[in-house]
Structure 1
């Protein structure tokens, strides 16, 4: 005898969106990341339908080369959801611990030992990385691995490899909250370390990061792997 059972599914979501952006870009790209110039992007993305909210993005990047082959790079980025349903349960919270944002706080690197609550009900070290709005700052000092040491006459050598010393910082918060440096109680997190980028024959940029997170008590150096060019 066959039986049919109706299972309750999740709530459906219908959304329509439009995007408008002001973009400026004079940056010059090297083998694995930009090396000169600057860029900015100001973007507004309203979403209407089952829920209503607006995504706002402000992204400014600057690159300059004080000495040939060596690049100083900086970025300031704000991304947030605003409006009535900006923190609706159907939306996944924003997370600042991705390798492209603040290194050393990868979501897969957290364990119960990182949480101050022995019951595991809360984890302040992780919870402060999520929210509906974020502000991130990044600094890098980049150079080709082989050329400065005279190991190859070409800029990058047979395999384009770039080394970058970096410092990252970021803060996430929700509606009704403010970052600590704006008089609120949401603490920023930061890290520093060294990154190695390899151009994999033009198909992808492989990045290996050795990061020291400063707001993870008892956590030393961490290793991260990602497929993305430098910011």
Structure 2
């Protein structure tokens, strides 16, 4: 029989179906699927050694492990927590860095004749405050989903809350930097503005992508 006509290995079929059903950080998801595949393969091999045909051995192993529909919810819960931590970590690391950049932009623009317009300064400060609050929420989330989670259950709505916190922080990052860049053409600090804009673009991309996946996980 040709390779195209041969049936796929049932263990690989199981692993592929499980991978398709899960959402979360790529590395954590790949590691989880690999562990399930290896465990199922070992269980099937044990039944094969006892005389069961290959397909029958896999069926028996699946009964022990549970079908994809049965094991996917528990696996997804674990991946959702992992993605929540990933999003929180991204916000906690990027927001303070950008706040420092914004502070430097404000400080450099304080020279005579180079003051930023009052509304622009106020908006930048308010957006920096939003980013600071987001970073604080992210740190609390990391604590709540770390060792503490072994004693206390992770709140059901936490992943979605962190996802929207990340989205809000990402928008604040972009708006604050654009405000400073547009409002300070005469500040003479374009190298710093360019650096801040570049850093913001990278941070926003990371935070936005992680927050988007966190929303997907929370709703899966």
Q: Which band: TM-score by shorter chain?
A: under 0.3
Bigger share in strand: 1
Instruction: Specify the structure having the higher radius of gyration (Cα).
Output: 2
TM-score where L is the length of structure 1 = 0.26
Q: Which has the higher contact order (CA 8 A, sep 6+)?
A: 2
TM-score where L is the length of structure 2 = 0.27
